[in-house]
Structure 1
Amino acid sequence: MTIRTRNQKQPDNRHFVAATLHNWCSRFALTHLSLWERVGDRKHCIWAFPQQDYIAKLPKAADCVSVADHFLLVFDTEKTAVFRDYLQQCRTFLPVCFEAALALEKRSVEEKLWLGLSGEVLNDVDDSFYTKLLDTLITGLPGAEAGLLLLNNERTSKLVIESGIGFDHEYYQRIQLSSDESLAGTAFSKQELLVYNTKTALQQAMASLSPKNRDYLIQAAQWKRMPSTALAFPIINNQQSFGVVVLFGFSDGSCFSPEIVDTLQNVLNYISLLYGRYKNQREAKKTKRELDITYRALRTEHSQLRKTLDLYNILTALSRNNKGINEIMSAMYSTAHTPIVYYDELLFPIASCGTSEQHVLPDHFLKTREARYSVRVKKWQLLKLTEDELLLIIPVVGAERVIGFLCAWINKNTFNDSDRTLLEYSASFLGLESMKRQAVEQTKRQLFGDIFDQVLSNTFNENMLQQAKNLDLNEKDLYTVLICEYTHAATPGIQEQFASEACMKWLEQALKEVTIKGLVAHRRGAIVAFLSFPSDAEKRTIDSKLTRFSTRINQFPGAIKVGIGRLEEGFIRINQSYNDARQCIRLLKKKKSGKVYRFSSGGIDHLLMNHDPDELKLFVEDHLGLLLEYDARKHKELLKTLLVYLEHNRNLQKTTEALMIHHNTLYYRINQIEAILSVKLSHSEDWMNLAMACRIYQFLQG
């Protein structure tokens, strides 16, 4: 038969012949004994004694004795003549003995092959089927040291290697053979078992192998060279070739004997049946897997539809019973079980569920790519917060524009698309409810604006007084008027046509934060508001709230000017408060700094605002004219020194520190000022006149 494969031991059914040869070695002092078999024009060793690695070639110094037509004994001994005589005596039974041993081995190979194919390979339906099939063939067939299993790729019409033993996967996965390329392509196309036991025949069979595939094959082989022998047979199912198996021998004496070919021929049909069975089972598993996926998808869809229907019924009932946004958010949270917050377009939280202090929007949220895209296309987006946490942004749309954002903090590992769909669906209810709320607010603003116009025009009637009561305007409460002037740039990130609405919402939110009751509307090119306080409220409490409100206004993210008039009793007497607020706006514009000005904290500026500007200029000229003329002529800064001196209430140290001059320099300048103006700063009357003149000068200069 053939040489031992994968360094495995000879089969047990050779023991009789092996024992006989062992006996000869001892009996005739043989230093070398081997039994060779002729297959065609080649010889290959069957047994070798003493046990040692396979001897590829016949020892040149050894003697040879032919036993029958295709057996050759090779030995080396000092008792050559004696051993030859003994072999001559045994010439009649030795061929029969060897033939019987080979027949037993052939049977053993067949049994081993059938057991392998009928055992682990038969029961295997996973992805290792091809590897186990190939391993069973290489293990069971003497002469096979490595092998490849190739399958036909129907898309490319190429043979690609599915599994390999004795080859590096990194290289053999690059090999793609055409249907007539090399011995594999020939066996595949002709549907024949092909055997090549000589290097010449093998080279001719592999001559059609492309240079690239040849290089890949050599690099993939663990022997780093072309094989010596090869055997290829197709895998056929329903008379169609699906693949091909190629077994290789790389040792010089390797050979696939006729007995091996006959053995393999007997199992080819069974291998094809195994492949067909495996393919059918794979298709069955794939179909089952697809059915399972479909079943799970249908169950998920059914669950989703049920949850959607339940939520729809809940939201519809809430809407029918005039429930608000908070109830809608609670229903959404009970379904999605994830923290959610509903923000308006100014990012003020309207309602929330399941949130904590950590659930806040990232900085510059409206400038993020996801938020801008969400506003532009009115579709949901995901904003990455951490490795596992995402922010789901769902725009709330009303009247074909984004009026807010429904934001959910989700874990990417647990949150699913069905929950997102539910939230996205619920956002439409939020939009409807928000539009309803806005319609009510718009009506209230319109009514308030009408009342405001009638109060300013001193037009009172029963209808107006009734509407005022509907707006909860109590005639005995204390009121102050707020006027807010804004520009479109005052509300960054908001469309220009909604700038007024955005400013009003911001002011309303600020009033809620400091617990001041107020009505806001847009009138006469500006935003106006009534701020009301109970008639029995302490002035200290009112002042504290207005101070906190002013502080909040200074935090507005844009350029606005807000004037707040004085308190008046009853809303029908707020004309003066309105005029005060307008005057505060003018003072803000004159000062060119600050965002809010309260009339009650304005001081002397209000007197100056109501005075004739020409008289104010004359007063400044009378008391500071000579000093102004001197500074202009001499390029001095005596007026600046006087202003700083007055600002620090004649404190010498603070004045010198502010001007960064020496005390003597300050004394010298004060003496100059007194000399030029003919005054004494130590006299109270002179000091008062100069202080008033300086204040008026600063007022006129803005």
Structure 2
Amino acid sequence: MTIRTRNQKQQDNRHFVTATLHNWCSRFALTHLSLWEQVGDRKHCIWAFPQQDNIAALPKKADCVSVADHFLLVFDTEKTAVFRDYLQQCRTFLPVCFEAALALEKRSVEEKLWLGLSGEVLNDVDDSFYTKLLDTLITGLPGAEAGLLLLNNERTSKLVIESGSGFDHEYYQRIQLSSDESLAGTAFSKQELLVYNTKTALQQAMASLSPKNRDYLIQAAQWKRMPSTALAFPIINNQQSFGAVVLFGFSDGSCFSPEIVDTLQNVLNYISLLYGRYKNQREAKKTKRELDITYRALRTEHSQLRKTLDLYNILTALSRNNKGINEIMSAMYSTAHTPIVYYDELLFPIASCGTSAQHVLPDHFLKTREARYSVRVKKWQLLKLTEDELLLIIPVVGAERVIGFLCAWINKNTFNDSDRTLLEYSASFLGLESMKRQAVEQTKRQLFGDIFDQVLSNTFNENMLQQAKNLDLNEKDLYTVLICEYTQTATPGIQEQFASEACMKWLEQALKEVTIKGLVAHRRGAIVAFLSFPSDAEKRTIDSKLTRFSTRINQFPGAIKVGIGRLEEGFIRINQSYNDARQCIRLLKKKKSGKVYRFSSGGIDHLLMNHDPDELKLFVEDHLGLLLEYDARKHKELLKTLLVYLEHNRNLQETTEALTIHHNTLYYRINQIESILSVKLSHSEDWMNLAMACRIYQFLQG
């Protein structure tokens, strides 16, 4: 005898019910035949033939035959009486048919639900797991038309909706339930499956819903009304509630039959297992991701540590071998591979690597918020230059104050924090090296200042001469003295107390550019300097260098007056050169124009300064007195015309252009001048006397 398998029996049951209903429909000309189940005061269709989906309610025109607590519904047919008589004869068979239909429906629901829950769709560990789980339950359970999946937020201890079907996300995301509020809260707290198949029971269960959450739920529901039936169950893992699922039915004929509830009850543990697996896999995925991040961070940190250690060894070796700032900058550039410049606190560039003409500081750099903040807190800052380029500002600190800036031009898309850390770390070495350099420079300036004072006061001795040799001052070389007086801040943005330091550094830089040896210090209320030249240097070469140096001084951004005295052999004989430089300063102040004056190019001005002022005034009176008197009496401009005429060396066209007058007017004025002074400008002696008188007049007026 062949043993029939379980699947074969199920197939027989399905065939039995279908065949029976099909036979009845054909035999009695039934337009529609349905098996309905009474669930409380709700009726639930469990089987229909011919197949129709979503039978919402009992037909208004229907002939019913009751089977215990269930109904057999018959639609309009011509053989109603015959069919009813047949059913009376088969009333013992009806319960069998009905129970078979229930068993078949239950099995169908179970298969569909298990198939959905165990399918590949829910095996993916991604953010759509909750949505897929909810859709599987709504699809697999008759009567479920919409649903919400809520999870407990451990931080707020509220149930928040993680996924919703049949609801608008814009509204349901605002819902937050207490642990005992409404259907979800009750199922969550009691850890029970709850069913509400009547509106009265549902309204009582939802009575604890806050008014705000109720409004959000109604607005979120696509039906825009309260549901007619609902089912809620908790999500449990290790006997702890983590959330809840609520399924809703909005149609009038929807309900959750005991068979459907039993079926769902059987899979709740599996749903909890699915949730636990998803949570564990997600935690494992998160842990793996965090481990990957940690691993990459450790590798990056190890690489950074390696680079830092290598750079530390290099910088330590450079410092130990007294290699200086340029070598330190080269080591930094080889590590960071970005253009860098080291500026002192007055923004004079000390050293640079990898830069080009475009790598310059923005205007008013020290007034920018980033630079001021960097100085105040002694921390790095980023200054935006263009959309992609940034300026990294790292303050170089020494003796508890900012003594410079390490600036790097970086691309925000390629530069990383590890390189910034290396540059920031290296800035400390620049600070140490700069402090050493400043100490040497200050000592050197102090020593030079002392020597300068002793030379001017003729109190020098053998010890001073030895110190002069240490400063590379040779008694046989040629020397000239420079005096610089400043009247305002040298560079925009630099504080007033730094003006003198800025001016000295600027002069030192200018001397380097034209290859002149020089020592600079601050003495007697001004900046003084020795400019030295080899004893065998040609006068033409010295004059060329001083001319280029004077041109460079005229480019100084502040208001200064610089006087340069005559050349002397030996630094101990520079008193006269010092006095010459002071005279040059006085001449500059008289001229009220220009920034530099060299004694060697002074000409007649030096003779005038050393001449008796009264004799100079008498000479002007003798040669220009009548013209001055005439101009004062007649309000004329004849003296001005004469001065311009002399300035342009008697060139008529240049004079008329300078005075913006017609040449006939110039001829007339010249004739007037000759008539008033009784001279002829064409005579060399008259011309020489008038030229000298005009020059003295201008000198005295200055």
What TM-score comes out, normalization by structure 2 length? 0.91
Distance in 2, matches of 1:638 and 1:436, equals 64
Contact kept? 1:341, 1:353, Cα under 8 Å: yes
Cα separation, partners in 2 of 1:106 and 1:54, compared to 1, 3 Å:
closer
Contact kept? 1:344, 1:405, Cα under 8 Å: yes
Q: What SS does the corresponding residue of 1:480 show, helix, strand or coil?
A: strand
Cα separation, partners in 2 of 1:340 and 1:376, compared to 1, 3 Å:
same
Contact kept? 2:44, 2:257, Cα under 8 Å: no
Shift in Å, 1:303: 4.0
Report what 2:696 is aligned to.
696
Q: Deviations over 1:634-689 (max 9, x none)?
A: 33322222222222233333333332333333333333333333333333322222
Q: Deviations over 1:192-242 (max 9, x none)?
A: 221112233323322332232222212222333322211111223444432
Cα separation, partners in 2 of 1:570 and 1:4, compared to 1, 3 Å:
farther
Shift in Å, 1:286: 4.2
Contact kept? 1:397, 1:403, Cα under 8 Å: yes
Distance in 2, matches of 1:29 and 1:674, equals 147
Q: What SS does the corresponding residue of 1:532 show, helix, strand or coil?
A: strand
Mean CA deviation greater in 513-522 or 483-492: 483-492
Q: Deviations over 1:226-272 (max 9, x none)?
A: 22211111223444432211111122221111111111222223333
Contact kept? 1:340, 1:406, Cα under 8 Å: yes
Q: Deviations over 1:601-651 (max 9, x none)?
A: 333222222222222222222222222223323333222222222222333
Contact kept? 1:226, 1:250, Cα under 8 Å: yes
Cα separation, partners in 2 of 1:59 and 1:571, compared to 1, 3 Å:
same
Cα separation, partners in 2 of 1:664 and 1:334, compared to 1, 3 Å:
closer
Mean CA deviation greater in 579-588 or 480-489: 480-489
Distance in 1, matches of 2:215 and 2:385, equals 50
Give the total of aligned pairs: 702
Contact kept? 1:6, 1:145, Cα under 8 Å: no
Shift in Å, 1:562: 1.2
Q: Deviations over 1:372-431 (max 9, x none)?
A: 121222222121223333222111122232221111223334433333233222212111
Shift in Å, 1:591: 2.0
Contact kept? 1:644, 1:658, Cα under 8 Å: yes
Report what 1:8 is aligned to.
8
Distance in 2, matches of 1:374 and 1:593, equals 39
Cα separation, partners in 2 of 1:587 and 1:329, compared to 1, 3 Å:
same
Distance in 1, matches of 2:138 and 2:403, equals 73
Distance in 1, matches of 2:472 and 2:25, equals 124
Distance in 1, matches of 2:486 and 2:605, equals 23
Cα separation, partners in 2 of 1:488 and 1:374, compared to 1, 3 Å:
farther
Cα separation, partners in 2 of 1:16 and 1:628, compared to 1, 3 Å:
farther
Q: Deviations over 1:115-143 (max 9, x none)?
A: 43344477444433322322222222221
Contact kept? 1:3, 1:255, Cα under 8 Å: no
Distance in 2, matches of 1:138 and 1:208, equals 25
Shift in Å, 1:571: 3.1
**How well do the aligned residues superpose, as a CA RMSD in angstroms?**
4.5
Distance in 1, matches of 2:536 and 2:4, equals 112
Contact kept? 2:396, 2:428, Cα under 8 Å: yes
Q: What SS does the corresponding residue of 1:78 show, helix, strand or coil?
A: coil
Contact kept? 2:122, 2:133, Cα under 8 Å: no
Cα separation, partners in 2 of 1:81 and 1:550, compared to 1, 3 Å:
same
Q: Deviations over 1:506-542 (max 9, x none)?
A: 1111111222222212222211112223344444443
Distance in 2, matches of 1:280 and 1:46, equals 38
Distance in 1, matches of 2:593 and 2:52, equals 104
Contact kept? 1:347, 1:404, Cα under 8 Å: yes
Contact kept? 1:554, 1:594, Cα under 8 Å: yes
Distance in 1, matches of 2:276 and 2:367, equals 60
Q: What SS does the corresponding residue of 2:522 show, helix, strand or coil?
A: strand
Shift in Å, 1:459: 4.9
Q: What SS does the corresponding residue of 1:121 show, helix, strand or coil?
A: helix
Contact kept? 2:35, 2:98, Cα under 8 Å: no
Mean CA deviation greater in 652-661 or 156-165: 652-661
Contact kept? 2:345, 2:405, Cα under 8 Å: yes
Report what 1:362 is aligned to.
362
Distance in 2, matches of 1:227 and 1:2, equals 51
Cα separation, partners in 2 of 1:476 and 1:19, compared to 1, 3 Å:
farther
Cα separation, partners in 2 of 1:45 and 1:587, compared to 1, 3 Å:
same
Distance in 1, matches of 2:373 and 2:139, equals 63
Distance in 2, matches of 1:234 and 1:2, equals 45
Contact kept? 1:35, 1:74, Cα under 8 Å: no
Q: What SS does the corresponding residue of 1:203 show, helix, strand or coil?
A: helix
Distance in 1, matches of 2:506 and 2:19, equals 105
Q: Deviations over 1:330-376 (max 9, x none)?
A: 22233333332212223232222333343332222222111112122
Note if 1:594 corresponds to 2:594. Answer: yes
Distance in 1, matches of 2:65 and 2:208, equals 42
Contact kept? 2:31, 2:75, Cα under 8 Å: yes
Shift in Å, 1:460: 5.3
Cα separation, partners in 2 of 1:453 and 1:2, compared to 1, 3 Å:
farther
Cα separation, partners in 2 of 1:478 and 1:48, compared to 1, 3 Å:
same
Contact kept? 2:395, 2:404, Cα under 8 Å: yes
Distance in 2, matches of 1:583 and 1:691, equals 23
Cα separation, partners in 2 of 1:277 and 1:553, compared to 1, 3 Å:
same
Distance in 2, matches of 1:4 and 1:209, equals 53
Cα separation, partners in 2 of 1:685 and 1:142, compared to 1, 3 Å:
same
What TM-score comes out, normalization by structure 1 length? 0.91
Distance in 1, matches of 2:630 and 2:313, equals 85
Cα separation, partners in 2 of 1:667 and 1:9, compared to 1, 3 Å:
farther
Shift in Å, 1:174: 0.7
Distance in 2, matches of 1:162 and 1:560, equals 75
Shift in Å, 1:145: 1.7
Q: What SS does the corresponding residue of 1:76 show, helix, strand or coil?
A: coil
Mean CA deviation greater in 180-189 or 565-574: 565-574
Shift in Å, 1:165: 1.8
Q: What SS does the corresponding residue of 1:563 show, helix, strand or coil?
A: strand
Contact kept? 2:17, 2:100, Cα under 8 Å: no
Contact kept? 1:125, 1:282, Cα under 8 Å: yes
Cα separation, partners in 2 of 1:537 and 1:23, compared to 1, 3 Å:
farther
Mean CA deviation greater in 369-378 or 273-282: 273-282
Cα separation, partners in 2 of 1:400 and 1:41, compared to 1, 3 Å:
closer
Contact kept? 2:488, 2:559, Cα under 8 Å: no
Mean CA deviation greater in 67-76 or 511-520: 67-76
Shift in Å, 1:280: 4.1
Shift in Å, 1:461: 4.5
Contact kept? 1:4, 1:142, Cα under 8 Å: no
Shift in Å, 1:503: 1.7
Distance in 1, matches of 2:436 and 2:12, equals 93
Distance in 1, matches of 2:255 and 2:543, equals 109
Cα separation, partners in 2 of 1:4 and 1:255, compared to 1, 3 Å:
farther
Shift in Å, 1:175: 0.7
Distance in 2, matches of 1:313 and 1:639, equals 76
Q: Deviations over 1:560-608 (max 9, x none)?
A: 2111223334434433322222111111222222222222333322222
Mean CA deviation greater in 182-191 or 80-89: 80-89
Distance in 1, matches of 2:229 and 2:482, equals 101
Mean CA deviation greater in 209-218 or 407-416: 407-416
Shift in Å, 1:94: 4.2
Mean CA deviation greater in 97-106 or 10-19: 10-19
Contact kept? 1:48, 1:54, Cα under 8 Å: no
Mean CA deviation greater in 287-296 or 361-370: 287-296
Report what 1:425 is aligned to.
425
Distance in 2, matches of 1:152 and 1:595, equals 80
Cα separation, partners in 2 of 1:651 and 1:50, compared to 1, 3 Å:
farther
Mean CA deviation greater in 103-112 or 501-510: 103-112
Report what 1:514 is aligned to.
514
Distance in 2, matches of 1:476 and 1:682, equals 50
Mean CA deviation greater in 273-282 or 247-256: 273-282
Cα separation, partners in 2 of 1:196 and 1:475, compared to 1, 3 Å:
same
Mean CA deviation greater in 175-184 or 333-342: 333-342
Which runs of 5 or more residues in structure 2 are unaligned?
A: none
Cα separation, partners in 2 of 1:258 and 1:53, compared to 1, 3 Å:
closer
Mean CA deviation greater in 558-567 or 456-465: 456-465
